Chain A
C-alpha cells in the first residue's frame, strides 16, 4: 500500500515490520441508504498521531462514530482492523475494553450518575479485560487526582454527575481526563477543539501529549488547524465527500489553514 508522504523518524522498512494499531481498508458506510464514507483507507502505526481534517459534512464524525461502535450506521464495504482483530465485530464496550477511546464532540450529560462512580466502574472494566485486579479506592483516588491536575480541572467535578452543569470547555477537558484515566491504545478525538478558547485548547493538547507513548496512537479529527499546533500530528489527511483526498505531513494542515479546502479538487481516491 503506497503512501503519499514520508513520516519523519520511521523508515519504510520499520513500518512494514510493525503491526498497525488501526488499519482501515476501503471502508464504505452510510446511514439510511445514504452513502457517507465512500472508500476510506487509513493505517495508523503504534506511536503515531494522525489528523483528519475536512469541511463540514465530509464524514469526519461518521468515521469517529463507526470506530466507537455507534448504532445506526451500515458498513457496506471494506474492513477496520484494530490490533489484528475485526473492530466492527465488537460491541462498543468491547472496543473500549480493548483500548479504543472516543472523545465525544458533544459529551453527554448523565444526571444522577456520579462521575467518580462511573469512572471507577469504567476503569475496572478495562482492567478486568487486561487481566488486572480492580483498583482499590485509595489507588483510584490518587490516580484520578493526578490526572485531574493534568487537565487543570476542579476536583469538585468528581463529586458531580457526569457532565452535568459542566461548561462546554469543562466537558471537553473531562473527555480527555477520562481518557487519561483509562489510558487507551487508540484515542479518537472528535472535534475536541470545537468550542474551546485558546487556554483550554492548550490544556487539552497538553493532556493528550502527556499520554503519547510509543505503543499508543491517536486519531485527531478537527475542523481547524490550530489544535495541530499543539498536538503535532505525524500525518494529516483531508477528508472530502467521504474520501481521503490528500495526505501529508503536518505542513499540510498549515496549507489548509492558509488556503481553505477549495483548492483541493477531489478526484481519484488517494490511498492514505
Chain B
C-alpha cells in the first residue's frame, strides 16, 4: 500500500537490533528453525512497515508515535532486578496459584511460582520450551495464519524472546487460575518487549489464564504481545487480558484463538492503561455447537486511546458467539471499537450477538465504533448494536434524591456500567479483584476530573 515509502529508511530502527537479538538467541541454544521464523518475520515486516491511517483497519489509530519511538528490544534480561516487593504493589498481587513473571519480555524465574504444577499440565516459558520441547512448539507456531495485525505479528515473530507456554492435557481441569504477569521496567524509552504466548487446552480440559500487563517505570515503552490459543473439543477456557501499563506506554496485543466443537471460551479484555493500546482479537469457531464470549472493558482518560478490533469467524453450524464491550471515556481520550462477525455459508443456526456501549464522561472524549455483520448463511440469529451516551441525568437525580452526593451517584452509575462487563468473569476471586481495581481506578479518575475541571453539580 505504501509503495512509495522506502521501508529501510523509515523502518531501519525496527530492523537494526535484529542481528544482536538473533545472535544471542542462537547462542543461548535456540533451535535453528526458530531463526527461520525470526528472519521471515523480519522480512515481512520490512516489506510492509507499520500500518497507517490509510489502512481501513487502522483508520482511527495513529501509530506514528510508535514509529517515532526508539526501538530497543533486549536480547537478554537486564541486570537491574525487579523485586518481589515491586510485585506486591501491583494489582492482582494477592492471587494464589501459579504465577509466571516476565520482565521486559524475559522470564524471571526468581519472581515466579511454578513449583506446584499439576499432573498432565505443562507451564513454562517460551524460551525454555524452545530448548526442551522444540518439536511440539514448532508445530504450534507454524499453524497460524495472519490477521489484520500482520505487521505486529511479523515483528513478534522476529523479536519474541519469551512468553507463557501452557499445555493442558485432555480431560484435565486446572483448579486455580494461571497468572502470567508481563512487566515493563519502564526505565528507558523505547524498551520493546514481544511476548509470545502459546496456550493449548486439549479436549475436555478446563483452565483459566490471566495475562496481566503492567509497568513499573513511566517511560514510553512498547509492548507487542501475541497469544495463540487452541481450545480443544469440549474444553472450557477462560482467558483474561488485563492491560494496565503506564500512561506513556504503547501496547499492541493480539489474541488468536481456534475453538473446537462443543467447547466454551470466555475471553475478556480489560484495557485500563497505556497511552495507546490496541487489541486484535481473532476467533475462529472451528467446530459445531460451541459457545464463545468476547467481553471487554476499556477505561480511558486524558489523551489516551484504547482500540479493540475483532473478527469472529463462524465456520461451523450451531455456534453461539456473544461480544460485549463497554467503554468509559473521559478527558480528551478516544475509544475505537471494530467488531466483525463473519457467518460462513455452512454456519447455519449461528447465534451471534455484538454490543458496544460507550459512556462519555466529558465533552471532548470520543468514540469510533463499527459493529459489522457479514452473513452468508440463511438460518441464523444475529444482532449487533452500538451506543454512545452520557450518564443518564435522571438516574443521577434519582440517586441524589435519596441523599447520595452527586459524585457518589455518578461513580455508582459508572461502576455499574463497568460491572456489566466485570460480572461476566466467571472466576470469583479474579472477578472480585478486577471489580475492586476498576472501582479504585474510577475513584482516582474521578479525582483527576474533579481536579481538572470546575466542580459539577
| A interface with B by C-beta (< 8 Å) | 68-71, 91-93, 95-97, 101-102, 104, 107-108, 110-113, 118-119, 121-122, 125-126, 129, 161, 178, 182
Q: Which residues of B contact A107 (CB under 8 A)?
A: 398
3 smallest CB-CB distances across A and B, nearest first, come from: A112-B416, A125-B403, A122-B402
Q: Which residues of B contact A108 (CB under 8 A)?
A: 392, 394-395, 397-398
Q: Determine whether B420 belongs to the interface, using a CB cutoff of 8 Å to chain A.
A: yes
Given contacts A108-B394, A121-B408, contact A101 B401 (CB under 8 A): yes
Least CB distance, B366 to chain A, in whole angstroms: 24
Q: Which residues of A contact B395 (CB under 8 A)?
A: 108, 110
Least CB distance, B169 to chain A, in whole angstroms: 39
Chain A residue, CB-CB nearest to B418 = A112
Q: Which residues of B contact A111 (CB under 8 A)?
A: 416, 420
A-B contact pairs, 13 of them (CB 8 A): A69-B397, A91-B457, A93-B405, A95-B401, A104-B401, A110-B399, A111-B416, A112-B415, A112-B417, A112-B419, A118-B399, A122-B403, A129-B403
Chain A residue, CB-CB nearest to B414 = A112
Asked whether B404 lies within 8 Å of A122 as measured between CB atoms, the reply is yes
Q: Determine whether B400 belongs to the interface, using a CB cutoff of 8 Å to chain A.
A: yes
Q: Which residues of B contact A125 (CB under 8 A)?
A: 402-405
Given contacts A113-B412, A118-B412, A121-B408, contact A182 B403 (CB under 8 A): yes
Chain B residue, CB-CB nearest to A110 = B395
CA distance A125 to B402 in the complex (A): 9
Least CB distance, A159 to chain B, in whole angstroms: 14
Chain B residue, CB-CB nearest to A96 = B403
Asked whether B401 lies within 8 Å of A91 as measured between CB atoms, the reply is no
Asked whether A121 lies within 8 Å of B404 as measured between CB atoms, the reply is yes
Asked whether B404 lies within 8 Å of A93 as measured between CB atoms, the reply is yes
Q: Which residues of A contact B393 (CB under 8 A)?
A: 71
Q: Which residues of A contact B43 (CB under 8 A)?
A: none
CA distance A96 to B399 in the complex (A): 10
Given contacts A91-B406, A91-B457, A108-B394, contact A69 B401 (CB under 8 A): yes
Q: Which residues of B contact A119 (CB under 8 A)?
A: 402
Q: Which residues of A contact B412 (CB under 8 A)?
A: 113, 118, 121
Given contacts A92-B397, A108-B398, A121-B408, contact A113 B403 (CB under 8 A): no
Asked whether B402 lies within 8 Å of A118 as measured between CB atoms, the reply is yes
CA distance A119 to B400 in the complex (A): 12
| Contact residues, B58-111 vs A (CB, 8 A) | none
Q: Which residues of A contact B382 (CB under 8 A)?
A: none
Q: Which residues of A contact B388 (CB under 8 A)?
A: none
Given contacts A70-B397, A91-B457, A108-B394, contact A96 B402 (CB under 8 A): yes
Chain B count of residues within 8 A CB distance of the other chain:
24
- The total number of A-B Cβ pairs within 8 Å is 76
CA distance A1 to B398 in the complex (A): 35
Q: Which residues of A contact B413 (CB under 8 A)?
A: 110, 112-113
CA distance A68 to B394 in the complex (A): 12
Chain B residue, CB-CB nearest to A113 = B416
Q: Which residues of A contact B406 (CB under 8 A)?
A: 91, 93
Chain A residue, CB-CB nearest to B400 = A92
User: Assuming A71-B397, A93-B400, A108-B394, what are 15 further A-B pairs, CB within 8 angstroms?
Assistant: A92-B400, A92-B401, A93-B406, A108-B392, A108-B395, A108-B397, A108-B398, A110-B413, A112-B413, A112-B417, A118-B399, A121-B404, A121-B408, A121-B412, A125-B404
Least CB distance, B162 to chain A, in whole angstroms: 39
CA distance A146 to B312 in the complex (A): 51
The interface bits of chain B over 415-427 (1 if a CB of A lies within 8 angstroms of the residue's CB, else 0) are 1110110000000
Q: Which residues of A contact B397 (CB under 8 A)?
A: 68-71, 92, 108
Q: Which residues of A contact B416 (CB under 8 A)?
A: 110-113, 161
CA distance A102 to B401 in the complex (A): 7
CA distance A166 to B412 in the complex (A): 20
Asked whether A91 lies within 8 Å of B400 as measured between CB atoms, the reply is yes
Least CB distance, A174 to chain B, in whole angstroms: 12
Most chain B CB inside 10 Å of its own CB: which residue of A69, A108, A129: A108
| Contact residues, B370-414 vs A (CB, 8 A) | 392-395, 397-406, 408-409, 412-413
CA distance A101 to B404 in the complex (A): 13
